Structure 1
Amino acid sequence: MNSSNPTLLGVDIYAVATLLSGIAAFAVLVAIYAALTVRDPMAKRVKALNRRREQLKAGVVAPAAKRRAKLIQSRESTDRMRHFLQSLKVLQDDQVKTVQAKLLQAGIRSRDLAFAVIFARLVLPVVLGALVGYIVYGTDALDWGPLQSYGAVAGALILSYKAPDLYLKNRIQKRSAAIRKGLPDALDLLVICAEAGLTVDAAFHRVARELGRAYPELGEEFSLTAIELGFLTDRRQAFTNLASRVDLEAVKGVVTTMIQTEKYGTPLASALRTLSAEFRHERMMRAEEKAARLPAIMTVPLILFILPTLFIVILGPAACSIKDALIK
């Protein structure tokens, strides 16, 4: 490393600036590519729904011995990952089921990707940890002390191990927030459909079609529920699958209401109308809570950025005038 270049914490500032410039240029190219290749977001969702319909149809029509072979299509790479994990004795059924549930909540329908997530937890710390360890200890690129070097390697190991879970958690939170936003409107439409005399599966189809553009995540879940209501022998299982695919207590409340309606024959419209009012009130309470936190959140930006600029604008001309007067 050239010692004549300025450094910060032992890192060459010019090298970091060059790296950041390259990342910024790559980000600009990716943004241009994404803007020029805009795709219909519903096309992929409709394809996934059709695939689910064909899977359910194959499970109903095919003999019992062939159902599993038609419903589960294993890929060669997934099989290799599964065999590798089984050979190391690190693959547990509870762990696989937990990851599969998170994948469904994140909107990823392939259950085989659970083995890829577990495989990434095992491989990423080894690869990234070895790479960071080689850069820190095996080269002279970073002039760091023992504590800084150990922190970098330990941070790389922890971050690489948690990276798949953090990615899934982020997707689950975004998807849940999008579904929560459109749930009151969906319940209002369900009330209208129920009062119009539509069946439950037809009402779900109608709501999914009406809200598919505004709330695509919610429309996809309602479409899947409508498909499962038409194919599954136990209709309650379709509602249970909806509750397991969405990580929201509000959806679990709707599912409980639908199951009780199917079981006891209670009026569906009145129950859904009550739930819709509660969800709208809850949404308003969340908005008021965010508004109440706004002054405390804006305190630090106000002190660091707004007030110094305001002082410069207000006191700057006065300071210049005083300086000119003193010089004269």
Structure 2
Amino acid sequence: MTSHTLLIGLFLCFGSLFCIPVIILSAYLERQHIRRQRLQAIVKSVLGKDFTATEKNNVKLYQLIQKIGHLILKSGLIDEKTLSAFTEGLKENSYIGTHYLEIFIGCKLILIPICGFIAWFFSYDFLKTPLLHVIAPVVGAIIGLLLPDIVIKQWRKAYLKNVEKGIPDALDMLVICADAGLALEAAINRVSIEMKNVNPNTAREFYITSQEMNIISDRREVFRMMAERTQLSDVRRITNALSQTIQVGSSITQALRTLSTEIRQNRMIEYEARAAKLPVLLTIPMILFFLPVILLIIGGPAFIQANLNFVHQ
């Protein structure tokens, strides 16, 4: 009981050290929000325009997390090697910008005490050893530290999966644009616009590529960056084909049409392979659920009859 009270006191001390800066930041953000509203009211009264309708209302929690991450970055508590690793990880997951890094670090800092407290709170219900009551908050804090990385990786997998689904449709649309006489830059930009309602993730990749083509003159470098950004085999094949057509001067339409046919055939082969695995995957459920029922139906009457004959004898 004494150790339990001591742990509660230690947790309250550390919690207060964490909550006091958060409260100060919340008050500071609230004052900034009030000041922003006053400025918007002044601009509206002078110019007669309401900018609040077009401005996105940021959630206070979002602002708080970003502010905490910004303070940690400014304090220099994280070394350059770790920051570069965080930046590269976010860049691989298509989160480019300093504000994403601030949110990422802020989420890590907030989840460490929260997950530690949750693990410590439930450890007294599920764990009986006193040593595990001390280890549980540490494990929870580690989980809270790694949780943003896990979430971002899962988002990245789902994002790339959606991008891969929309590649054949984007290729067909790119072929139509090329047949219509549009240049490659205009065709990619048009595909990014038309694919927004069909597959927003694929449209986003083509939009990023079109913006990079407006900045970088070397088209092969842009295609290489697109392949490295997605790390998808279909996108790599498309970029290699486009780079070769630019280098050799061959027909882009024919290359894209051939690639579209090959990608759809490969998708069909993958679907057939998955369908061929179904009988093997269904074997264990059939053994566990269907076979005992069949044995009961077939052998049950015979077993009951044998017991009745044994009782009569």
Question: TM-score scaled by structure 1?
Answer: 0.61
187-196 or 150-159: bigger deviation? 150-159
Relative distance call for 1:252 and 1:324 in structure 2 (3 A) is same
In structure 2, the residue matched to 1:214 is 198
240-249 or 187-196: bigger deviation? 240-249
Secondary structure of the structure 2 residue equivalent to 1:88:
coil
Q: CA deviation at 1:283?
A: 1.8
What does 1:1-328 correspond to in 2, within 5 Å? 78-85=66-73, 86-92=75-81, 93-104=83-94, 108=95, 111-136=98-123, 140-145=124-129, 155-229=139-213, 231-234=214-217, 236=219, 238-316=222-300
- Aligned partner of 1:95: which letter? A
In structure 2, the residue matched to 1:5 is none
Q: CA deviation at 1:215?
A: 2.5
Q: Is the 8 A contact 1:103 1:111 kept in 2?
A: no
- Aligned partner of 1:82: which letter? H
Q: Deviations over 1:235-287 (max 9, x none)?
A: 63654553344231321332233334344433212322333233223323322
- More RCO (CA 8 Å, sep 6+): 1
Q: CA deviation at 1:327?
A: 6.4
In structure 1, the residue matched to 2:34 is none
Relative distance call for 1:115 and 1:291 in structure 2 (3 A) is same
Q: CA deviation at 1:123?
A: 4.4
Give the distance between the partners of 1:207 and 1:253, measured in 2 at CA. 18
Relative distance call for 1:154 and 1:79 in structure 2 (3 A) is closer
Q: How many residues align?
A: 250
Relative distance call for 1:130 and 1:273 in structure 2 (3 A) is same
143-152 or 159-168: bigger deviation? 143-152
Give the distance between the partners of 2:138 and 2:288, measured in 1 at CA. 33
Relative distance call for 1:287 and 1:153 in structure 2 (3 A) is farther
In structure 2, the residue matched to 1:21 is none
Relative distance call for 1:147 and 1:77 in structure 2 (3 A) is closer
Q: CA RMSD in A?
A: 3.7
Q: Is the 8 A contact 1:232 1:238 kept in 2?
A: no
- Aligned partner of 1:127: which letter? I
Q: CA deviation at 1:82?
A: 3.2
Q: Is the 8 A contact 1:100 1:111 kept in 2?
A: no
Secondary structure of the structure 2 residue equivalent to 1:163:
helix
- Aligned partner of 1:89: which letter? I
255-264 or 141-150: bigger deviation? 141-150
- Aligned partner of 1:234: which letter? S
Relative distance call for 1:245 and 1:157 in structure 2 (3 A) is same
Ranges in structure 2 where 5+ consecutive residues have no aligned partner: 1-54, 56-62
Ranges in structure 1 where 5+ consecutive residues have no aligned partner: 1-50, 52-74
Give the distance between the partners of 1:254 and 1:232, measured in 2 at CA. 21
Query: What fraction of aligned residue pairs are identical, expressed as a percent?
Result: 29
| Higher Rg | 2
Q: Is the 8 A contact 2:68 2:106 kept in 1?
A: no
- Aligned partner of 1:243: which letter? A
Secondary structure of the structure 2 residue equivalent to 1:212:
coil
- Aligned partner of 2:76: which letter? S
Relative distance call for 1:179 and 1:233 in structure 2 (3 A) is closer
256-265 or 278-287: bigger deviation? 256-265
Give the distance between the partners of 1:151 and 1:249, measured in 2 at CA. 44
In structure 2, the residue matched to 1:62 is none
Give the distance between the partners of 1:213 and 1:319, measured in 2 at CA. 63
Q: Deviations over 1:282-309 (max 9, x none)?
A: 3233223323433332233222223233
